[in-house]
Amino acid sequence: MDNISDENSTSCSWSITLGGIELYEFVTNGVMLNLIGVFGILGNIISMIILSRPQMKSSINYLLIWLARCDTVLIITSMLLFGLPAIYTYTGTLFTYFYRVYPNLVPVVYPTALIAQTVSVYLTLTVTLERFVAVCHPLQARSLCTYGRARLYVMMIIICSTLYNLPRFWEAQRVLYFNEDYNITVYDVKPTSLRTNHIYISVYIHWLYMIFLYFLPFSFLAVLNTAIYRQVRKANKERQRLSRLQKKEIGLATMLLCVVIVFFLCNILALVNNVIEAFYCISIDQLVKTSNLLITINSSVNFVIYVIFGEKFKRLFLKLFCSHQLWVAVGGGRESPDGATHDESVVSNGDGRNYSIRSTHCHLHCTGTTSVRNGTSVTTGNGSTLHRSTRIPRAPSPGPCVYYPARGVMAGTATVGAGDWESNHNAATVLNKL
């Protein structure tokens, strides 16, 4: 992303430009970057809405919300710095933006883009570290992977990223000059004396940028994700013995592993460009434009990954943004706090008929001679009125499940099997048979 310096003043001895650079820049940055950026902003907004739902509240989702926010900022700044200027360069439109708005934006938007990029990189590293603890050290996860710690990590990353990129605010300046082609006075962006200092370029622009934005995070991501991948493979072999929580953690780790893989693929070219520029003092314009596009793609595709690999995320997305018919078609239902639907267990009473018991709260209302539960009425006989709330247990009861709505239950009540729900067929009076 710091390749904007190549737009204003190159720090290399040679800047290689292959043929058709204006057309290439228009296709990659003017068309593809802007289109992908628009869809990426929409996807990140939807991701933030879904991840902010009460049933999605967790430390990892808090980190993902901030990652979506930083990616959104990064997309907007990329469109302002690279996407819109590329349209003018090839088509000649957006003259006012290119010569009047853009020069005023660069001194502020350019450092903001680098801050957002730094935050995004280290949030990705923090998400991976959180998954590493949850998957490889589950006993420590309860104390380390908390919502409060996640908020602290985000605050520290934002502060450190801002301080690290603070010198960027003094790299570019707006200048006024006379354009002979249009015979008017326009603005342009030029590097400051700081940006042309060779020591500053060598130490800060090249080495520190590569170390803190690529080598360190890439190394940690490679090590942590290798450990996570091995644990996921081991867990998949022993999946029958995993608890529901362990399966959930493994599934989430697999999804975030895909996020990191996309991060590697989309940022590797920018690393190559900086290595070539630092060691060989060569900047290839086509590679620079392509790396800007790839970074924008990386900030735009997380929503797609969440939908493909995140079952809970997909259910909420369909429920909130898709039609009811589609939601029902994919098996959606009533959402529980942990994202799973309320399953029904089928119980037989020995007479060849099956009765469904829902694992949720039920309310029993007895008015006159009728006991009402979820729209089903059962006749009683004492004319009394009773309001009662109870919970049907999820696990089978070892003894008879009997509800007495009032004293002296009459013979009009329904009966199901008592004792053991599965094998004992002694009759018992049950009012809330389903």
pLDDT band at 233 (very low <50, low <70, confident <90, very high): confident
pLDDT single digits (tens) 185-207: 889 999 999 999 999 999 999 89
Per-residue pLDDT, 309: 87
387: its two tokens = 């309001």
Q: Of 286, 309, 332, which one is at a domain's C-terminal end?
A: 309
Q: Of 264, 283, 309, which one is at a domain's C-terminal end?
A: 309
Rounded alpha-carbon distances, angstroms, from residue 402 to 361, 429, 430 = 16, 6, 5
SS (H, E, C) 87-103: HHHHHCCCHHHHHHHHH
Centre a 10 Å sphere on the Cβ of residue 107 and count the other Cβ atoms it contains: 17
pLDDT tops 60 at residue 212: yes
Amino acid code (one letter) for 340: A
Residue of 218, 352, 310 whose CA lies nearest to 272: 218
pLDDT single digits (tens) 343-390: 333 333 444 444 443 344 434 344 444 444 444 444 444 444 444 444
Mean pLDDT of 229-239: 77
Tell me what the pLDDT averaged over the chain comes to: 76
Q: Of 285, 309, 333, which one is at a domain's C-terminal end?
A: 309
Per-residue pLDDT, 237: 72
290 and 420 together in one domain: no
Q: Is residue 322 part of a domain?
A: no
Mean pLDDT of 27-39: 96
pLDDT tops 80 at residue 27: yes
> pLDDT above 90 covers what percent of the chain?
46
DSSP structure class, residue 397: P
CATH number at residue 282: 1.20.1070.10
Picking from 18-27, 48-57, 243-252, 293-302, which range would have the lowest pLDDT averaged per residue? 243-252
At 377, which helix (H) or strand (E)?
strand 376-379
pLDDT band at 18 (very low <50, low <70, confident <90, very high): low
Answer for the pair 74, 113: CB distance below 8 angstroms, yes or no. yes
Q: Is residue 320 part of a domain?
A: no
DSSP string, 213-229: IIIHHHHHHHHHHHHHH
Q: Is residue 418 part of a domain?
A: yes
Q: Is residue 392 part of a domain?
A: yes
| pTM assigned to the model | 0.71
- How many domains does one find in the chain? 2
Query: What residues does 390 pair with on adjacent strands?
Result: 362
Mean pLDDT of 12-20: 58
The phi, psi pair for 381, rounded to 5°, reads -140, 10
Picking from 137-141, 232-236, 350-354, which range would have the lowest pLDDT averaged per residue? 350-354
Q: Is residue 315 part of a domain?
A: no
Per-residue pLDDT, 1: 60
Per-residue pLDDT, 7: 41
200: its two tokens = 């500053």
Q: Can you tell me whether residue 4 is helix, strand or coil?
A: helix
Distance CA 250, CA 256 (A): 10
Strands ordered across the beta sheet of 376-379: 376-379, 370-373, 361-367, 386-391
H-assigned helices in 26-78? 34-51, 59-78
Per-residue pLDDT, 45: 96
Answer for the pair 226, 180: CB distance below 8 angstroms, yes or no. no
Q: Can you tell me whether residue 398 is helix, strand or coil?
A: coil
Picking from 78-87, 108-117, 132-141, 423-432, which range would have the lowest pLDDT averaged per residue? 423-432
Answer for the pair 66, 12: CB distance below 8 angstroms, yes or no. no
At 370, which helix (H) or strand (E)?
strand 370-373
350 and 236 together in one domain: no
Helix axes 59-78, 285-298, angle to 10 degrees: 140
Per-residue pLDDT, 324: 57
Expressed as residue numbers, the domain containing 127 is 4-309
303 and 376 together in one domain: no
User: What count of residues does the chain have?
Assistant: 434
